[in-house]
Amino acid sequence: MTTHRVASHRSPKPLADPNRPVERAVTAVLVLAVLAGLGWIGGMIYTVAGWTL
């Protein structure tokens, strides 16, 4: 009669692990996208304000 060992369940690493370079790259891209969006909105406000002068 043979006995089978049941593998112990290990919980996966959390998705927000800062040591993963892919997630750090995605976070950096999202930050750059937000900054670009804010810059674009600021440029539009500046342009529209310039039209009224």
32 within a domain of the structure (yes/no): yes
Dmax over CA atoms of the chain, in Å, equals 92
Residue pLDDT, tens place only, 1-53: 566 666 666 766 565 555 677 888 899 999 999 999 999 999 999 999 998 76
Q: How many domains does the chain have?
A: 1
**Predicted model pTM:** 0.55
Residue 33 lies in a domain: yes
- Whether 3 is covered by a domain: the verdict is no
Res 17: pLDDT:
56
Residue 6 counted as domain residue: no
Q: Can you give the pLDDT at residue 21?
A: 77
Residue 41 lies in a domain: yes
Q: Which domain holds residue 26?
A: 22-53
Q: How far, CA to CA in Å, does 28 sit from each of 20, 25, 36, 50?
A: 13, 5, 12, 33
Domain membership flag for residue 5: no
**8 in a structural domain:** no
